[in-house]
A and B are shown apart, each in its own frame.
Chain A
Amino acid sequence: MINHIVFIFIFLLGFYAILVKKSLIKMVIGLNIMEGAIFYWFIAITDRGGIIPIVQSTQVAFNLNDPIPQALILTGIVIGASTSAFLLTLIIELNKFTDSTNPDQLGGIIED
Chain B
Amino acid sequence: MSRLKHISIVIILAFLGLIMLLDLNKIPNQFEYANSIYHHITNNAVGETGSLNFVTAILYDYRAYDSMGESTIIFGAVSGIVLLLSRKTLPVSSHGLSFIVKRTYGMLTPFIFLFSVYIIAHGHLSPGGGFQGGVILGAISIIFSIVYGSEFDYKRYTPTTKTLLETSGALLFIGIGLIGIIYSGSFLSNLNILNSEPGSLLSAGSIPFINLGIGFKIGAGLAIIFYSMIQKTFKEEASL
Contact = CB atoms under 8 A, between A and B. Distances in A.
15 contacts: A5-B21, A7-B24, A11-B20, A19-B9, A19-B13, A53-B54, A54-B53, A54-B127, A60-B43, A71-B63, A78-B74, A78-B218, A89-B84, A89-B85, A92-B232
A92 B198 CA distance: 48
B100 interface: no
Interface string B69-110: 010011011001100110000000000000000000000000
Main SS at interface, chain A: helix
A110 interface: no
A47 to B, nearest CB: 10
Main SS at interface, chain B: helix
Contact of B66 (A12, A52, A66, A75): A75
Interface string B48-80: 000011110111000100110010011011001
Contact of A68 (B38, B77, B218): B38
B60 to A, nearest CB: 10
Contacts of A88: 229
Interface of B: 1, 6, 9-10, 13, 16-17, 20-21, 24-25, 27, 31, 37-38, 41-43, 46-47, 52-55, 57-59, 63, 66-67, 70, 73-74, 76-77, 80-81, 84-85, 126-127, 131, 198-199, 218, 225, 228-229, 232-233, 236
